[in-house]
Structure 1
């Protein structure tokens, strides 16, 4: 979890938005990174699962049309993981539930587990569970844009972008001269960034929107070619996850803690 702690510090001081943005990435179907860079990006996002005292994953089995299906659930939201434990498992099997706890991992850990399962022809499904509120937000945005939003069942990411030239708003990260494209796990984070940008640059802000993409599609894209432009993507955890990450970090004795982990919209001039 050390990388998550470092990421919390990074998010706390993320800076300005660049109005010029980066070239569009299209539909994210033909761009990618080397495997180690994919893992590095996923390492910055926490996910949560249930384990016993030995740290073993809990496998949930159910029948589906006469066929037994075994699953291990991983949750984007820690609260959702806790609710699953409290509201379902404690009712169905209180003795087992009393031995379980919510354990944080990184999205990279989940990704590696899935890959290892495929190599072993594992019969267990490792399911990543999105926050339902964000799924509904994604469906609404897709429907409003003329797409079949109700068919969306993935893990939504929200990307602020410009409408006409298919380019994206970018933010700088500390100790870097590069600009990065934030892919948010919460619609509210993307809306906040756009609202700040619209106040700072109303004319350009009128040409913006929020694009919805699926996390699985992004991961697939990260693995499908060697275009260095994909390295500009930064996965931005939910505010709940950011708060969790910060809880892992030692408290500063100076008392100068940042209160919000959101980029400030101070647009740079187009070059």
Structure 2
């Protein structure tokens, strides 16, 4: 029997879940703390779990828990883009396309490489798009914002031979960045760092 573990995109949502757990199941809830874990680590753990579950019936199944506000914004974006028949499912990743060939909008990193940013937060993409339009007024009208589930991106990266996809960079939300910085500051001050929180939940 596989046990499902929630991976919260929003630290606030994760903390709210822990608080509810403390009320409903105090023995378990008091042992759980919120900690930042990279998607890379989650993916590697998930791959190991899939290999283990192929050999036996037990395993840990990770389920991404999106921030509902971003899901609502994703649904609104689908409607705006004429995809009125679709109900958004999964964790939203926002990105932009533009230009005559409707290519991905990219940003240049410090080392000069061009990357394709996919944002967990719609507002961050909006800011990038507005800045791009100011710098490129001649193609501003061609720019569109789009959204895709994180789960679909992971599947595509696993199966596609398109080398351009290797340039995709997932940009964390400002909330997540602030949470990680707070953990780092606490660690520097000698505060014990929280243990992993992705404990199996029944």
TM-score for both structures, normalised by structure 2: 0.81
Of the three residues 131, 135, 141, the one matched with 1:206 is: 141
Unaligned runs of 5+ in 1: 1-67, 251-271
Instruction: Give the Cα separation in 2 of the matches to 1:148 and 1:70.
Output: 35
Residue in 1 aligned with 2:90? 154
Do structure 1's residue 246 and structure 2's residue 181 form an aligned pair? yes
Residue in 2 aligned with 1:134? 70
Residue in 1 aligned with 2:104? 168
Do structure 1's residue 237 and structure 2's residue 168 form an aligned pair? no
Structure ranking higher in helix proportion? 2
Q: CA RMSD in A?
A: 2.2
Residue 163 of structure 1: CA displacement?
6.4
Structure ranking higher in strand proportion? 1
TM-score for both structures, normalised by structure 1: 0.62
**Structure 1 residue ranges (4+ consecutive) displaced by more than 4 angstroms after TM superposition:** none
Residue in 2 aligned with 1:193? 128
Residue in 1 aligned with 2:34? 102
Q: Do 1:129 and 1:155's aligned partners in 2 also have CA atoms closer than 8 Å? A: yes
Instruction: Give the Cα separation in 2 of the matches to 1:130 and 1:221.
Output: 19
Q: Do 1:141 and 1:149's aligned partners in 2 also have CA atoms closer than 8 Å? A: no
SS in 2 for 1:105: coil
SS in 2 for 1:177: coil
Residue 125 of structure 1: CA displacement?
2.6
Q: Do 1:159 and 1:210's aligned partners in 2 also have CA atoms closer than 8 Å? A: yes
Residue 218 of structure 1: CA displacement?
1.1
Residue 249 of structure 1: CA displacement?
5.0
Q: Do 1:140 and 1:149's aligned partners in 2 also have CA atoms closer than 8 Å? A: no
